[in-house]
């Protein structure tokens, strides 16, 4: 009757303009930003598609009763599926089945041992490269500030050193822009200035009240990994893993598992 | 009945599930809007809605054959709820809402509360968040997660690239 939505696409597409759209919809843009946004909408098909998706989602969420109706259909469908599931008939095991069970048990034990030794073979550097996503798309508002526009362009062109210099200049004038702190932190990682990245992410975490806190905590953990400051990394990932609402909860738990420090 | 109708006329079991679900939603919306005027048995009505939806789907897929096999009696329907435009919208909303239902309970609740225009302060209290700012962040991240699931679902692509 109803299926849960499944994702079978092998390539992950990314959203580029979420924060811009969020600020636009929340009415948080100033006049310059609004002007830029309206112009950009006319020529930027990706931005326009993302905004349309946002508006569509608002519409579907307004249909609360329909969503609840679908939820009921889904639950009825799942109940029926369970009722119609084939029953397991228990038979007396034969000799070959016992042998197979023993073989599986041996495989599980040796496999478990292998897994255990493999967990130990994750070096901090390896874990860092497994989990660090260098392909972050930038979501800064080009608020008419020439430096920001230039910095964004440099970041997009992967000129992280150039971007970082401009981000630092912007932060000298206005240190309250957490987005700039965040992307400056990423630029520092990309240019192997891990200690500076740690400072940038700590600044965001200490501020507390901004959209970047969870991501900053995550990258802070990764920076500690990169610096081989394992205890600091473990502390960071433990905090993330126990926070039910944290966006990176599962990945943090996986890293702790790989480090053998659950 | 609907499974039989769809599978007998070039469709799969999955198509039948979608048609059945969309038909039930149409009936549900009509009842809610006091537009549900039953002049035949409910079975015939539901069959007729499903039949219309499936015929349109076939025509869109250019799979319509002259030998359409009916498995029940049906009534003629012409209203907007069954129009092609509305059907596209229904399909889109079905997929998006199905993705919404795959989000964790916390995310579903935050997004719903936000849409109901509940204040950030009240959302924070209801959800046990420390600050209003955090409620806003959660809402943003949950919506972001929902959008990611949708843009990475191949079935949703046509709604993201059209118009």
Task: Report the residue from A3, A66, A70 with minimal CB separation from B17.
Answer: A3
Contact A170, A180 (CB under 8 A): yes
Mind listing the pLDDT tens digit for each residue in A98-113?
A: 443 443 343 343 333 3
Q: Is B118 on the interface with A (CB under 8 A)?
A: no
Q: In chain B, what residues touch A4 (CB-CB under 8 Å)?
A: 98, 101-102
Number of structural domains found in chain B = 2
Q: In chain B, what residues touch A137 (CB-CB under 8 Å)?
A: none
Q: Which pTM value belongs to this model?
A: 0.56
Contact A210 B131 (CB under 8 A): no
Res B103: pLDDT: 93
Look at residue B59 and tell me if it is in a domain: yes
Residue A16 predicted with pLDDT over 60: yes
Task: Report the residue from A6, A60, A210 with minimal CB separation from B97.
Answer: A60
- pLDDT tier for residue A223 given thresholds of 50, 70 and 90: very high
Look at residue B58 and tell me if it is in a domain: yes
Res A107: pLDDT: 33
Nearest Cα to Cα of residue A197 among A208, A189, A205: A189
Q: How many CB pairs under 8 A join A and B?
A: 122
Query: Among all residues of chain B, which has the CA nearest to that of A75?
Result: B101
Give A15→chain B minimum CA distance, Å: 7
Give B106→chain A minimum CA distance, Å: 8
Its domain, for residue B112, covers: 102-161
Give me the percent of chain A exceeding a pLDDT of 70. Answer: 73
What is the DSSP track for A14-64? --S-HHHHHHHHTT---HHHHHHHHHHHHH-HHHHHHHHHHHHHHHHHH-H
Please list the pLDDT of chain B residue by residue as tens digits (163 residues). 888 888 888 888 888 988 888 888 888 888 887 877 777 888 888 888 898 888 888 887 776 666 777 777 877 777 766 676 677 888 899 999 999 999 999 999 999 999 888 999 999 999 998 888 899 999 999 999 999 999 988 888 888 874 5
Same-domain pairing of B61 and B106: no
Q: Which of A4, A60, A210 to probe by mutation at the B interface, max B CB count within 10 Å?
A: A60
Distance CA A169, CA A151 (A): 10
Q: Which of residues 166-205 of A touch B (CB under 8 A)?
A: none
- pLDDT tier for residue A136 given thresholds of 50, 70 and 90: low
From A128-132, A195-199, A231-235, the region with the lowest mean pLDDT: A128-132
Contact B112 A213 (CB under 8 A): no
Nearest Cα to Cα of residue A19 among B136, B99, B106, B101: B136
Res B150: pLDDT: 93
Same-domain pairing of B106 and B77: no
Helix H or strand E segment including A249: helix A249-259
Res A213: pLDDT: 82
Alpha carbons within 13 angstroms on the beta-carbon side of residue A219 total 30
Phi, psi of A144 (to 5 degrees): 80, -5
Same-domain pairing of B109 and B65: no
Residue A249 predicted with pLDDT over 60: yes
Same-domain pairing of B73 and B9: yes
Res A183: pLDDT: 86
Query: Among all residues of chain A, which has the CA nearest to that of B145?
Result: A247
Contact A57 B106 (CB under 8 A): no
Q: What value does the mean pLDDT take over residues A58-63?
A: 89
Contact B137 A61 (CB under 8 A): no
Query: Among all residues of chain A, which has the CA nearest to that of B99?
Result: A5
Distance CA A208, CA A206 (A): 5
A129-259, CATH topology level:
1.25.40
Q: Which of residues 14-73 of B touch A (CB under 8 A)?
A: 14, 17, 20-21, 24-25, 28-29, 32
| Residue, of A168 and A100, whose pLDDT is higher | A168
Q: What is the mean pLDDT of chain A?
A: 76
Residue A70 predicted with pLDDT over 60: yes
Contact B115 A62 (CB under 8 A): yes
Please tell me whether the interface predicted TM-score (ipTM) of this complex is above 0.85.
Answer: no
Residue A65 predicted with pLDDT over 80: yes
Helix axes A249-259, A213-226, angle to 10 degrees: 20
Contact B140 A22 (CB under 8 A): yes
Res B149: pLDDT: 92
Q: What value does the mean pLDDT take over residues A189-208?
A: 90
Token output for A134: 């260098």
| Residue, of A214 and A141, whose pLDDT is higher | A214
Look at residue B87 and tell me if it is in a domain: no
Residues 6+ apart with CB under 8 A from A228: A124, A125
Same-domain pairing of B22 and B56: yes
Of B82, B114, B149, the one marking the end of a domain is B82
Contact B99 A5 (CB under 8 A): yes
């Amino acid at each position: 009757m109803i299926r849960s939505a499944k994702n079978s696409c092998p390539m992950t597409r990314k959203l580029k303009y979420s924060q811009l759209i969020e600020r636009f919809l929340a009415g948080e843009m100033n006049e310059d930003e609004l002007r830029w946004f309206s112009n950009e909408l006319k020529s930027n098909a990706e931005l326009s598609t993302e905004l349309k998706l946002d508006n569509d989602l608002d519409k579907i969420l307004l249909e609360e009763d329909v969503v609840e109706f679908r939820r009921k259909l889904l639950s009825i469908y799942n109940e029926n599926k369970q009722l119609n599931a084939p029953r397991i008939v228990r038979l007396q095991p034969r000799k070959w089945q016992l042998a197979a069970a023993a073989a599986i048990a041996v495989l599980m034990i040796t496999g478990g041992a292998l897994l255990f030794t493999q967990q130990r073979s994750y070096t901090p550097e390896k874990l860092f490269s497994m989990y660090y996503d260098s392909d972050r798309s930038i979501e800064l508002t080009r608020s008419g500030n020439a430096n920001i526009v230039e910095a964004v362009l440099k970041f997009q062109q992967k000129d992280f050193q150039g971007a970082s210099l401009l981000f630092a200049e912007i932060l000298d004038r206005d240190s309250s822009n957490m987005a700039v702190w965040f992307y400056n932190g990423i630029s520092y990682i990309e240019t192997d200035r891990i200690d500076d990245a740690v400072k940038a992410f700590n600044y965001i975490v200490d501020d507390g009240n901004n959209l970047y806190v969870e991501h900053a905590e995550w990258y802070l953990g990764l920076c500690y990994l990169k610096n081989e400051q394992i205890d600091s990394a473990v502390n960071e990932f433990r905090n993330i893993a126990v926070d039910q609402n944290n966006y990176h909860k599962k990945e943090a738990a996986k890293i702790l598992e790989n480090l053998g420090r659950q | 009945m609907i499974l039989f109708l769809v599978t007998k006329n070039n469709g799969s079991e999955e198509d039948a599930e979608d048609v059945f679900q969309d038909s039930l939603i149409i009936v549900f919306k009509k009842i809610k809007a006091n537009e549900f005027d039953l002049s035949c048995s409910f079975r015939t009505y539901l069959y007729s809605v499903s039949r219309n939806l499936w015929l349109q789907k076939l025509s869109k897929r250019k799979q319509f054959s002259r030998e359409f096999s009916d498995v029940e009696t049906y009534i003629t329907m012409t209203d907007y709820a069954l129009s092609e435009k509305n059907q596209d919208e229904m399909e889109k909303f079905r997929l998006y809402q199905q993705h919404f239902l795959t989000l964790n309970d916390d995310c579903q609740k935050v997004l719903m509360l936000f849409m109901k225009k509940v204040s950030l302060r009240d959302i924070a209290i209801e959800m046990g968040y420390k600050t209003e700012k955090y409620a806003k962040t959660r809402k943003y991240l949950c919506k972001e997660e929902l959008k990611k699931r949708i843009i990475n679902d191949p079935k949703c692509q046509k709604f993201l690239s059209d118009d």
